Amino acid sequence: MDWTKRARRAVLNMKPYIPGKPIEQVQRELGLDRVFKLASNENPLGPSPRALERVREVLSESHRYPDDTYTSLRQALAQRLKVEPEMILLGRGSDEILLHIVQTFIEEGDRVVFSKPSFAMYDILSCLMGAQRIAVPLAGFRHDLKALADVATPETKVLFLDSPNNPTGTIITNRELESFFDKIPEGPLLVLDEAYQEFVEADDYHDGVAYVKEGRPVIVLRTFSKAYGLAGFRIGYGIADPELVRLIARVREPFNVSSLAVAAALGALEDDDFLNQVRQVVWNGKKRLYQKLNELGLFFVESQANFVLIDAGVDCREVSRRLQERGFIVRPCDIFGL
Ligand SMILES: *Cc1c(COP(=O)(O)O)cnc(C)c1O
Give the pLDDT means over successive 10-residue stretches in the chain (338 positions).
93 88 88 92 95 98 96 98 98 98 98 97 97 97 98 98 98 97 96 98 96 97 98 98 98 97 98 97 97 96 97 93 94 87
95 Cβ closer than 6 Å to some ligand 1 atom:
yes
For ligand 1, the distance from its centroid to the CA atom of residue 166, given in whole angstroms, is 9
94 Cβ closer than 6 Å to some ligand 1 atom:
yes
Mean pLDDT for the chain overall = 96
pLDDT for 95 equals 98
198 Cβ closer than 6 Å to some ligand 1 atom:
no
**Which is it for strands 236-239 and 218-223: parallel, antiparallel or unpaired?**
antiparallel
Beta-strand runs (E) in the chain? 36-37, 88-91, 111-116, 132-137, 158-162, 189-193, 218-223, 236-239, 299-300, 310-311, 328-329
User: Can you tell me which atom of ligand 1 is nearest the CA of 305?
Assistant: 15
DSSP category for residue 214 = T
pLDDT for 19 equals 83
93 Cβ closer than 6 Å to some ligand 1 atom:
yes
CB atoms within 10 A of CB 13: 10
**Which is it for strands 328-329 and 36-37: parallel, antiparallel or unpaired?**
parallel
Rg (CA), the chain: 20
> What gap in Å lies between CA 274 and CA 267, rounded to an integer?
11
117 Cβ closer than 6 Å to some ligand 1 atom:
no
> What gap in Å lies between CA 184 and CA 38, rounded to an integer?
36
> What gap in Å lies between CA 160 and CA 213, rounded to an integer?
19
For ligand 1, the distance from its centroid to the CA atom of residue 295, given in whole angstroms, is 32
> What gap in Å lies between CA 305 and CA 197, rounded to an integer?
8
> What gap in Å lies between CA 139 and CA 81, rounded to an integer?
32
168 Cβ closer than 6 Å to some ligand 1 atom:
no
**Which sign does the torsion angle of CA 80, 85, 86, 91 carry?**
positive
pLDDT for 18 equals 83
CB 233 within 8 A of CB 73: no
Distance separating the N- and C-terminal Cα atoms of the chain: 39
312-318: Cβ within 8 A, 24+ apart? none
Closest CA to 219 of 105, 110, 70: 105
Nearest residue CA, atom 11 of ligand 1?
Answer: 195
pLDDT for 26 equals 86
Beta-strand runs (E) in 148-288? 158-162, 189-193, 218-223, 236-239
Can you name the residues that pair with 328 across neighbouring β-strands?
36
